[in-house]
Amino acid sequence: MEHFAERNIIAAIARQQARTAADLVRGIGDDCAVVRKAGGLVDLWTTDALVEGVHFDLAWHPPELLGRKAASVNISDIGAMGGRPRFALLALGLPAACPKEFLDKMVAGFLDVLAEHDMVLVGGDTVYAGERLLLSITVCGEMAEKQVCYRSAARPGDLVWVSGCLGNAACGLELCRQGWQGQEEYALLCRAHLDPQPQVRLGRMLAESGLIHAMMDISDGLATDLAHICQGSGVGAEIMAEEVPLAGELQKAAAALQLSTMQLALQGGEDYQLVFTSPAQNSGPLRNLSQEAGVDIACVGRIVAGAQVMLRQDGEWRDISFQGYEHRF
């Protein structure tokens, strides 16, 4: 039996397909597919599935927040191209014992996030799914074709930026696992895991500004997601450990849990912040845009010729490309 890694499967499937369409601007291989329509606009499409016991644990994930997260992680892919999310479809797989009250709360959370983004649920399917709760979601967004920010647009000399702080969600997951969810001092970190906030507004502002080249969301950790940008753009990247933005709460919690903040920040995943690249001369306007958006951004390194994501920490360089957890079959 041949083994294979999760992230290679859809790419391998895409390679088996010779076919394309005149209006398909980008197929598999970015955060969203991009389909051209009239008026200089494109539709963006993305799909993501969440499985109980793999992507969430009902022991600590309240149904409202699970519904919110399922919507948010899909919406994040639209924001990562710079788009405006518009419609969602929800395929729900329910286990044998699924109380109606649980379902109602989960759906309410899901619909709340849609409403916050002025989106409409337009389709769905509900099936019996055996042992595990499943949520498979497809989201459609819209934007101007000229403004779409692809993974493949990074260029040597660009600076690498991230929004927010990294590692909070991974640390929050560990805190939930260990039963610290109720602690006031860990609320921000647990919330980052349970109810991530997709950076849709910032993503749109960045796309509209024309200040940036490549962009994607950080779902699998900066080490992996920046490696996707490097792979897609045919470039390398250098990251400075001391520039990676870390929340004070993360530093305290990581110390208490005896975890490495840098490992949480670079390999933890699920932060749903944005990583983007931009020519150095745009740094001033970018900082102004960040202020206007009310979201902190930090320059963590630069794009170089090459193919790896290299981290400089304590004067040493090491290759961190694609580091992080990945399921293998």
Between 46 and 277, name the residue whose CB sits nearer to its own copies. Answer: 46
Kindly state the smallest distance separating residue 23's Cβ from its own copies, in Å.
9
Between 19 and 284, name the residue whose CB sits nearer to its own copies. Answer: 19
Q: Comparing C-alpha atoms, which of 52, 46, 43 is closest to residue 28? A: 46
Kindly state the smallest distance separating residue 270's Cβ from its own copies, in Å.
14
Rounded CA gap, 191 and 130, in Å? 29
Between 66 and 244, name the residue whose CB sits nearer to its own copies. Answer: 66
Kindly state the smallest distance separating residue 71's Cβ from its own copies, in Å.
12
Between 38 and 305, name the residue whose CB sits nearer to its own copies. Answer: 38
Which residues are registered as beta bridge partners of 275?
A: 162, 216
Which residues are registered as beta bridge partners of 130?
A: 95
Give me the numbers of helices (H) and strands (E) for the chain, helices first please. 10, 13
Rounded CA gap, 162 and 78, in Å? 17
Between 68 and 302, name the residue whose CB sits nearer to its own copies. Answer: 68
Between 12 and 305, name the residue whose CB sits nearer to its own copies. Answer: 12
Kindly state the smallest distance separating residue 86's Cβ from its own copies, in Å.
7
Kindly state the smallest distance separating residue 140's Cβ from its own copies, in Å.
7
Sheet holding 309-313, edge to edge: 215-217, 274-278, 159-163, 297-304, 236-240, 309-313, 316-319
Kindly state the smallest distance separating residue 200's Cβ from its own copies, in Å.
17
Between 56 and 186, name the residue whose CB sits nearer to its own copies. Answer: 56
Longest dimension (CA), the chain: 57
Given a contact cutoff of 8 angstroms between Cβ atoms, the answer to whether 135 and 50 are in contact is yes
Between 92 and 218, name the residue whose CB sits nearer to its own copies. Answer: 92
Q: Which residues contact 18 (CB under 8 A, 6 or more apart)?
A: none
Q: Using DSSP bridges, classify how beta strands 134-144 and 84-95 pair: parallel, antiparallel or unpaired.
A: antiparallel
Secondary structure of 157-223 as H, E, C letters: CCEEEEECCCCHHHHHHHHHHCCCCCCHHHHHHHHHHHCCCCCHHHHHHHHHHCCCCCEEECCCCHH
Kindly state the smallest distance separating residue 61's Cβ from its own copies, in Å.
16
Kindly state the smallest distance separating residue 228's Cβ from its own copies, in Å.
14
